[in-house]
Structure 1
Amino acid sequence: MPGSLQKDLATTIVVTALLIWVMPMLIGTFTLTVLAIYGMLGLSLGLIWGFGGILCFGQAAFFGLGAYTYAIAAINTGESTLPMILAVLVPALFAALLGIMMFYGRLTDVYLGVITLVVTLILFKFINSTAGPQYVIGKARLGGFNGIPGFQTLNIPGNPDAYIWGDTYFYVCAIMLALVYLLVSALLRSSFGRVAVGIRENETRISLMGYDVRARKTVLFAAGAAIAGLAGALFANWGEIVTPNLFSLGQSAEIIIWCIVGGLGTRLGPILGAAGLAYLKFLLGQQSVVDNTLITGLILVLFVLFLPRGIVPALAGLWKISFGRRPLGRIHQARRLRNRERNHG
């Protein structure tokens, strides 16, 4: 294991353990659970957009697909292990097929955004129109705008009666977020990840170097969708119901805002942006004086104008200025050079 990856592993374990210990003293685990899930969802778009340069307006589509896949499979199987696996595989396969169509069709970034947005709208409209009794998959009735309640929630594998809920479920979600973070770190430190970042910087140059840009973008797109699907399945367990709102445009817009505020091109930025803004929305939702959507939009405008790189890059730059090695001025450099020549003379 490379030294940098070992350092990431040790740091992630220590930080995760500290947060699991400290944060429940400040915020209830019920709220912390959904913040961890949203952090995972933010990281899924951060991987695709921040490191692959693929602006996806449809990350909510993969999030909703994961949630609905889990709910349908859980109703039909009566346990949670296979549904969790399917909730990851189905969005990944869907994204791979969509990616093949888009990337091998040589669509530009604008059209990529439009297509992913349209796909999200189609899924939202379709799920909303499934209220009739004929919309059934096995034992699961889709329920239209009412959604799907009453499915099997997360249990210990092999023991459907041993439910995982409450504080224990928060620990599971926090550990899952840490594992996804480590997997994303390992992917980005691999040759595949370095090429993906190169594609973001200059796709033509990477293509001329002999790499199959379209295949690599498709794989990265599917990997981000798999993470979003996992977040959707965890969210379904947290809320114990899935509804068409998971596919809404508002959800898609929020994920993009999380990444912008947290910091694109970083692994930690989308997680912090998602958790911070989601918690702010939760606090604002408890009052009726100010509309929380207005506040979120104002935050986005302020960050775009005054902190366009996001929180994490700004803090990293501030840390480097404050505590990093400062270059010597020209006078000091000249003085050191004269002293060196005098000593050697």
Structure 2
Amino acid sequence: MEVVDATERNRVDDFEEPRIASFGHDIVELNISVAMKNWRFIAYAVVMTCGIVAQACVTVLGSRRELLYACIAIASVFIIGAFLALPFVVAKAAVFIYLNTVLYLQISSVLSNFYLAKPACLPDGPHFSYTFYQTFGALITDVGGVAGTILFRHIFSKHRYAFVFIVTSLLQVAGSIFDLIIVKRWNVHIGIPDHAAYILGDAIVYEICFVLSLMPAQILMSRLCPRGTETIAFALLAGFNSAGVSMSMAIGSLLMENFWPISAKPPCNFKNLPLLIITGHLCMPLLIIPLAFLMLPNARICDRIDTNGNVIPDTAEPAPVQHYSPPHRQDTNPEHEGQGQK
């Protein structure tokens, strides 16, 4: 009992009440102690915010060359700044999440123009209606998100991080193959309707892959981040996803404007769309496979890991504390024999 009491007293003595600053009539509160201890996280979050705003401004107001230079500069700042401001293991995971989003080029606007093109623009196109593409397509996307959650819960949560991201990349490539088949009109030659090929392709596979990559990323960041910075870590994760999407859209637009132009107005020209799909959806996502082995912890998603990425072995539960109690005195009186055990 004395040992337990001493331990509890030490815990009470070591406790330091955090300094809380309130702003706006206590609407916003800031833990000064945590902010001062992890100021690098906050500084990097500010840098990331400025980079995303700068990229948006250059995308709207700048020229092609200025957008190219901005993409290179912002990506360099994000990657180098992560290794300077964050713990090494956290930086590797954050940069991997960023690259995982960047390497899947966003060309959804071009694909939408192809699927919705009128016969006057694209005589042999799929000619999807807005009702099917927007309503039914969105419903299929929601079903894919639910399916991704179920698959992660029952199958992928027991596997390693690298395995999940590799499978996700391969599924994205497999789903994009159906887009390539529709664009090349191969499905028509073998008798598969455009609507069926679209449902089997990127419409549902992309959302499944998005969920399968987002959930392990959230778990990984929450386990690697230092104590007290969980909110900042989730904000950084959302920032990396947003920055990656913006960067992939910018790279896709640069490819379309400089190398493989696309015209969605009569006379329409979608001849370069297969090259965009092959480059941005089939080849570049495969680059994430070697990066998964280099930048992710060698652990399963269900494992407990420390801030260095090492697996914390499961130990046996400690035995319950047994308090000392003196043995019962045996009564030597024959009349009371047998009562000593009560």
User: Do Structure 1 and Structure 2 share a fold, with TM-score over 0.5?
Assistant: no
1 or 2, which has the higher helix percentage?
1
Q: Which has the larger radius of gyration?
A: 2
